[in-house]
């Protein structure tokens, strides 16, 4: 079964519960945490890549706990107005989602290959790469 990317959002009550531990222990899911953030109000966002036979059961468990679950779609995007097509991101992007079209030397972005590592957000000199949930 191929990994699926999801976004979890939870309130203050959940952030103190070991829900991820339960996903591993009780549902035998392989988890890759792509992004995690808990704000000062203890509300959290978690972007996960999940693999495992009990994927659906795991999701049901999360929903039962009050976690809002949604699939991850077009998370990193390029602000075309800010991008100067310099290309400095193209050898940093680990999956080749950002690449140079030749001979035009324009930067292309194939979001299907993006794993939301967000390296491009850090290194783009013009802050042209943005993340949207």
Partner 1 sequence: MTSERTYAEINEKIKSGKVVVMTAEEVISLVEEKGVSEAARQVDVVTTGTFAPMCSSGVFLNFGHPKPRIKMQKTWLNGVPAYAGLAAVDAYLGATELPEDDPCNSKYPGKFNYGGGHVIQDLVARKPVLLEAVSHTTDCYPLAEVRTTITLDKINEATLFNPRNAYQNYNCAVNLSDQTVYTYLGMLKPNLGNAHYCSAGQLSPLLKDPYFLTIGIGTRIFLGGGVGYVAWHGNQHFPGIQKDQAGKEYGPGGGTIAVIGDLKQMKPDWLVGTSILGYGATLTVGIGIPIPIINEEVMRCVSVTDKELYAPIVDYGEAYGQREPGNLGYASYAELKTGSVKINGKEVPTAPLSSYSKAKEIACLSKEWIQKGQFFLAEPVESLPSYKDELQAKILEIKDV
Q: How far is the CB of 130 from partner 1 (least distance, A)?
A: 14
Q: What distance in Å separates the CA atoms of residue 59 and residue 69, rounded to the nearest whole number? A: 8
Report how far residue 78's alpha carbon sits from residue 29's, in angstroms, rounded to the nearest whole number. Answer: 32
Q: How far apart are CA 91 and CA 113, in angstroms?
A: 14
Candidates 63, 66, 126, 133; binder of partner 1 (CB under 8 A) is 126
Residue 17 or 127 with smaller CB distance to partner 1: 127
CB 89 to partner 1: min, Å: 7
Binding flag, residue 125, partner 1 (CB under 8 A): yes
- Answer yes or no: are the C-beta atoms of 62 and 108 closer than 8 Å: no
- Contacts with partner 1 by CB under 8 A lie at 84-92, 100, 102-106, 122-123, 125-127
């Amino acid at each position: 079964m191929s990994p699926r990317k999801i976004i979890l959002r939870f309130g203050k009550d959940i952030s103190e519960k070991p829900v991820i531990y339960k996903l591993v222990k009780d549902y035998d899911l392989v988890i890759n945490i792509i992004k995690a953030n808990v704000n000062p109000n203890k509300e959290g966002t978690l972007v996960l890549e999940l693999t495992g036979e009990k994927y659906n059961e795991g999701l049901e468990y999360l929903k039962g706990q009050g976690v809002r679950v949604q699939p991850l779609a077009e998370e990193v995007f390029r602000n075309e107005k800010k991008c100067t097509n310099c290309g400095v991101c193209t050898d940093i992007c680990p999956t080749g989602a950002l690449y140079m079209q030749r001979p035009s030397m324009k930067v292309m972005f194939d979001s299907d290959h993006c794993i939301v590592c967000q390296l491009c957000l850090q290194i783009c000199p013009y802050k042209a790469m943005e993340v949207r949930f």
